Amino acid sequence: MSCGSHVELLDFDRAELTAELEQRFGLPAFRARQLIRWVHKFRVKDFSEMTDIAKPLREAFDDAYTIYRPELAERQVSRDGTRKYLFRLSDGSAVESVLIKQTDRLTLCVSSQVGCAMGCKFCRTALMKLKRNLATHEIVGQVLAVQDDAAELGEVFNNIVFMGMGEPLHNYDNVMRALRLLNDELGHDFSYRKVTVSTSGLVPAIERFGQEGAPASLAVSLNATSDDVRSQLIPINKKWPIEKLMSTLRELPLNSNRRITIEYVMLAGVNDTKDDLARLPGILKDVPCKINLIPYNENAGLGFKRPSRDHIAKWQDRLLSRGFNTTVRWSKGEDIDAACGQLATANEAKQAVSG
């Protein structure tokens, strides 16, 4: 939370900031509302710009707090307009955010950890192992930094997915605080429908997410229809196998009309067989869900192959005919290696070589 003697302002959600300002300065709650508005809605980085706060108080805030932005180390633009941002954090770690351009919308994919402990076999981030959790200011900082950049291009994004580096539910508290900030109507004001947290299947954290009414939608990476295959691909399946995961999803308290996205990264010859297709509807029975088929991005270079377009289309047709709302998410920004969940560790390798 601190940077030298300063404290990161982006590490407080509104309730926490209200308590902090009361405790530290004896200030009433409207001061927290002012700060949330300035920092998250208007993206002000300097207290001197907060014109409705008297100068002595602005100076006191300036002495106490820092308004964080990650340093932009690199920005790549793909042929399809998708942009990848490489951010350098205060301790020198790097994380990536990707602004994905689709015909009808822009979606920001953010990271929640440096590296990841989950060890999924199809994911390059897994090779880094977990270095550390991101603090809330480092998560929300990605959003603000990309908003700054997009604003210069006259663009606005209104979808955010936690599908970058890291397992978001493994950094539960910091991610939840970031979700509350993103949802705060005085600040970013993203509806829970516009923010999606994607998990590899951490059952206790999923239960908490549902019980606490997290202001976000949930996506779960299924990626297999047998425990044998899923345990090989996603090692935590050994702890929380498919049926445990599905029964948790069936019982999850969700707001009305909320549906869980079931992600299925399609790996040729591994999880796309006839038997898989036959088993999937039964596994998902009574789970309030839609299915997102994700053709594997071979750029990850981990030895897996993407099935043919025809094969993927056949899966989609079959699942649609079984009554499942099913979409195919083709990777964007493949020429800049920007697929969500497969973010490059290339930068780490570069650093290791140069440093």
- Find the binder of ligand SF4 among 126, 197, 205, 344 (CB under 6 A): 126
Binding to ligand SF4 by residue 307, rule CB under 6 A?
Answer: no
- Find the binder of ligand SF4 among 8, 11, 20, 167 (CB under 6 A): 167
The residues that bridge with 261 in the sheet, in sequence order, are 219, 290
116 catalytically annotated: no
Binding to ligand SF4 by residue 263, rule CB under 6 A?
Answer: no
Binding to ligand SF4 by residue 337, rule CB under 6 A?
Answer: no
Within 13 A of 10's CA, how many CA atoms are on the CB side? 30
Residue 242: how many other CB atoms lie within 10 Å: 19
Task: Answer for the pair 292, 261: CB distance below 8 angstroms, yes or no.
Answer: yes
Considering the complex, what minimum distance in angstroms separates the CB of residue 116 from ligand SF4? Answer: 3
Binding to ligand SF4 by residue 82, rule CB under 6 A?
Answer: no
Instruction: Tell me the C-alpha distance between 223 and 231, whole Å.
Output: 10
Task: Answer for the pair 217, 197: CB distance below 8 angstroms, yes or no.
Answer: yes
- Find the binder of ligand SF4 among 9, 100, 120, 161 (CB under 6 A): 120
Instruction: Tell me the C-alpha distance between 80 and 69, whole Å.
Output: 27
Binding to ligand SF4 by residue 201, rule CB under 6 A?
Answer: no
Binding to ligand SF4 by residue 166, rule CB under 6 A?
Answer: yes
The residues that bridge with 85 in the sheet, in sequence order, are 75, 97
Is the Cβ of residue 31 or residue 208 nearer to ligand SF4 in the bound state? 208
Considering the complex, what minimum distance in angstroms separates the CB of residue 288 from ligand SF4? Answer: 23
Token pair listed for 44? 């002000």
Q: Specify the stretch interacting with ligand SF4 by CB under 6 A; choose among 46-54, 88-96, 143-151, 159-167.
A: 159-167
Binding to ligand SF4 by residue 200, rule CB under 6 A?
Answer: yes
Considering the complex, what minimum distance in angstroms separates the CB of residue 217 from ligand SF4? Answer: 17
Containing 160, the helix (H) or strand (E) segment is strand 159-162
Sequence-ordered strand ranges (E) for 189-325: 195-199, 217-221, 260-266, 289-295
Considering the complex, what minimum distance in angstroms separates the CB of residue 345 from ligand SF4? Answer: 10
Catalytic entry in 116, 120, 340, 348: 340
Is the Cβ of residue 35 or residue 233 nearer to ligand SF4 in the bound state? 233
- For ligand SF4 (CB under 6 A), the number of binding residues is 12
96 catalytically annotated: yes
Instruction: Tell me the C-alpha distance between 85 and 99, whole Å.
Output: 8
Tell me 202's DSSP state.
-
Instruction: Tell me the C-alpha distance between 128 and 109, whole Å.
Output: 19
- Find the binder of ligand SF4 among 35, 123, 161, 195 (CB under 6 A): 123
Q: Specify the stretch interacting with ligand SF4 by CB under 6 A; choose among 32-40, 111-119, 268-276, 312-320.
A: 111-119
Token pair listed for 88? 């350098």
Residue with tokens 């649609």: 320
Residue with tokens 């270079």: 301
Is the Cβ of residue 116 or residue 160 nearer to ligand SF4 in the bound state? 116
Is the Cβ of residue 111 or residue 147 nearer to ligand SF4 in the bound state? 111
Task: Answer for the pair 134, 114: CB distance below 8 angstroms, yes or no.
Answer: yes
Binding to ligand SF4 by residue 118, rule CB under 6 A?
Answer: yes
Catalytic entry in 8, 20, 96, 167: 96
Cα first-last separation, the chain: 28
Question: Rule CB under 6 A: which residues touch ligand SF4?
Answer: 116, 118-120, 123, 125-126, 165-167, 200, 341
| Residues designated catalytic | 96, 340
